[in-house]
Structure 1
Amino acid sequence: MGPIPLQRSRIFLCLLFLFFSMAPAALAAPIAFNDYASRIRESIALIQTGDDRIPAEHAAILREKFPPALLISRKGQTLKVDCGPLGRWIDEAEKSAGGRARLLTHMNALLNQIGDETGSPLSEEKAKGLLEAIFSSREFRHLKKAEPPAWKAWLQEQLRRFMEWLGMHFGNFDGKTLAWTFLAVLIAIVVAGVVLIIQIIRSTGGTGWRWRQAAIGKQEETPENVPVDWNRLRSEAERKAVSGELRDAVRALFLSVLLEGHAKGWWVYRPESTNTEHLLQMGRSQRKEPFRNLAELYENAWYGLKTVGPDDFATCRKWAEQMGGA
């Protein structure tokens, strides 16, 4: 066999280089989703061990835990997480104390985003804190705190006075345990009966049984009165997409679709409603499928399960336009 031509040898060397560079990523076994969350917690504990810039050995540990292409197994599917931006956070933390602080903030935010997926229950205090952080956002500032109905406030006042009256007349009597128990059960039955009757009266009509009440007032529930301009959010999404903030751009676009649907009567927007409830309100509308696709892409992008690219945002824009033109 004669010598290999120079052009063929170059092609062979390029293919050989590509094989050896891609082999580790192809052969890497995916980790479980809970292991991914554990790595984040361990990294947070490691970052919190000091106040100055992180040492080189700690940075090496973090890079080992989060390679540029990390495979995660979740619900029978293998997902690829782009950890390239996280690597740049680690580089900054290795250079300065401010970089360490920013890396810690980023890791805590990432852990909060995937907290519901790991199966670890949130405490009531932490859940309230997360909800307050969400509803303090600009798009929710028009919401008003739900006041108790007048009938409920009146009933609570009457029960308070009644209990004071009972305390004044029977508080010093001994041997009245059975009587007090009977009286408490009787009051509970009466109150439950009154509440049930009121709920039945309030729930009659086309909406069926509504056991929870919207956090916004009745004035905000009408499609003609939307406090936040969805066109402004749509423009904000385009600006963020141009500046490269694609994850935030997808979120702003999704919120604009929710408020657009409220303004045009596709559904009644309530912050506590789920995407499934919005789908049910659309019935058999042609907007149903684009909205389902948009909601799925938004959830995967916002919770860090998918890296958003320009093509993804363009697809989201197309779905939003399909809903508006349906």
Structure 2
Amino acid sequence: MTASVAGLPDLGADEAAGLAREELSDPLYRRDEPSLVEWLWERGRDFLSDLAGRVGDALPGGWLTLVGVLAVVLAVGVFVFFYVGPAQRRARLARASVDPVSTPADHRARAERLAAAGRHGEALRERMRAIAADLEERTVVDPRPGRTAHELAAAAAAALPEHADALAAAARLFDDVWYGGRTAGPGDYRSVADLDERLRRSRPAEVAR
């Protein structure tokens, strides 16, 4: 098939197509096309418009309802992050504290009752508190609220160096149970109870002189 125009020679189909492509490649034909940024803006605007329509159909009140829901979710998130999280951490630390809250005898009695009930992790904690209470009562270590098991072991080892290794082992065991998720058994509790009994019979070198 050929194309002819008055005054021009006949052109074949391929030649006509080539001339058309060449003509359309002229920048004059492309200057009104949107840029990439404009194209993206148009697509984004269409998407938001469609989303707004869907939200309006799905929620009573449309965007105002959605904004209110998001504000509530944000408020809950802030509350959890700034209050509930720290409160839970404080509660966990309090449960795992070696700070004595009673006399050494009371802590030992409570530890024995817990051990008899099979609650060896709690029994171990009470025995560590008994150690702290006894050492503070005998002024082997100074009272210090919030002291960790390792800090208690270090302070006691400075005054009773012959028990340094056993104290460090008891502190590691305490952390494994109360922070590492280890399940304490009867042997774990008995090792700390035996240490408590040995410490009760020990006196710091400077006092013994």
What interval of TM-score do these two structures reach, taking the shorter chain for normalisation?
A: 0.3 to 0.5
- Calculate the TM-score normalised by the size of structure 2: 0.48
More helix by share: 2
